[in-house]
């Protein structure tokens, strides 16, 4: 639902832009990479030196496996909205970029014991005791990013252009949440919290997410 709202707002913004795009200084770019698939909208602020960009990126993947009579379902969701600036220090194809990412990335999984048992913090539990175990890993919703890139959407005399971005997003420490569909006993509740704390210790050094993206841009209006 959140991604549909974001996509709707972005499409509305794009529709407004196309109405005035004939004056030049606007460009769009399709992209693919570690943030998934998506598109960016570019606006030249200082010709040759500075431009603004925003957009959307998304990707989803799920996997079902069964092991030792336990059924696992895992889901990866990438949803980001970059808001940033591109700086061209040499007024050519090389650029530096940075800004803020609205970060809705999430990893989720469920584990359902069929006939077997599941171990939580060293204690074994049956399906009757936990029902289904749900796990969700989330990150900071507001995540700054920095990077560099090659290619410019406002190249003189060209409508089409190739773009490449390399950088990193600081998403903070990953936060794990564990819940069960059956009301947890005090022992189970304590074991869940212990597992969350263990995950926090293990993940404390993984606070950056790599950004590698390839794209194709199109510049509106007349080229000079």
56-83 residue pLDDT tens:
999 999 999 876 667 889 999 999 999 9
Q: What per-residue confidence (pLDDT) applies to 223?
A: 53
Is beta strand 106-113 parallel, antiparallel or unpaired with respect to 133-138? antiparallel
Which residues have C-beta within 8 Å of that of residue 143, sequence separation ≥ 6? Answer: 100, 101, 103, 169, 170, 171, 172, 209
Contact 81, 53 (CB under 8 A): no
Q: Do 108 and 137 form a contact (C-beta atoms < 8 A)?
A: yes
Q: Specify the pTM.
A: 0.82
**Which is nearest to 130 in space by CA: 141, 143, 140, 121?**
121
User: ∠ CA 89-150-31 to the nearest 5 degrees?
Assistant: 130
Confidence band of 1 (pLDDT split at 50, 70, 90): low
Share of the chain above pLDDT 90, in %: 67
**3-state SS track over 22-85:** HHCCEEEEEEEECCEEEEEEEEEEECCCEEEEEEEEEEEEEEEEEECCEEEEEEEEEEEEEEEE
3-state secondary structure of 131: coil
pLDDT at 14: 52
Q: What tens digit of pLDDT does each residue of 104-146 get?
A: 999 999 988 877 788 899 899 988 899 889 999 999 999 999 9
Cα separation, 30 vs 201, whole angstroms: 38
For range 22-48, the mean pLDDT: 88
Give the separation between CA 165 and CA 145, rounded to whole angstroms: 12
SS3 139: coil
Domain boundaries, the chain: 32-147+166-213
The residues near 156 (Cβ < 8 Å, ≥ 6 apart) are 223, 224
pLDDT in tens, 145-191: 999 999 988 876 788 999 999 999 999 999 999 999 999 899 999 99
- E strand or H helix at 101: strand 94-103
4, 78, 94: which is closest to 34 by C-alpha? 78
């Amino acid at each position: 639902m959140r991604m549909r709202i974001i996509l709707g707002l972005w499409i509305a913004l794009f529709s407004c832009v196309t109405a005035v795009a004939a004056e030049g200084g606007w460009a769009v770019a399709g992209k693919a990479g570690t943030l998934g698939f998506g598109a960016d909208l570019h606006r030249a602020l200082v010709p040759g030196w500075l431009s603004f960009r925003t957009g959307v990126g998304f990707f989803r993947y799920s996997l079902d496996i069964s092991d030792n009579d336990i059924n696992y379902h895992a889901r990866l969701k990438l949803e980001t909205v970059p808001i940033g600036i591109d700086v061209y220090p040499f007024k050519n194809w090389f650029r530096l970029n940075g800004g803020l990412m609205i970060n809705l990335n999430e990893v989720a999984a469920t584990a359902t014991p069929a006939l077997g048992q599941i171990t939580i913090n060293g204690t074994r539990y049956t399906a009757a005791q936990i029902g289904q175990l749900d796990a969700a890993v989330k990150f900071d919703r507001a995540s700054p990013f920095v990077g560099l890139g090659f290619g410019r959407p406002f190249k003189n005399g060209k409508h089409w252009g190739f773009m490449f971005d390399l950088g990193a997003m600081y998403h903070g420490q990953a936060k794990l949440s564990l819940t069960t569909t059956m009301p947890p006993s005090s022992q189970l509740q304590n074991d869940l919290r212990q597992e969350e704390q263990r995950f926090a210790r293990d993940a404390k050094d993984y606070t950056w997410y790599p950004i590698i993206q390839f794209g194709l841009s199109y510049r509106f209006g007349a080229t000079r």
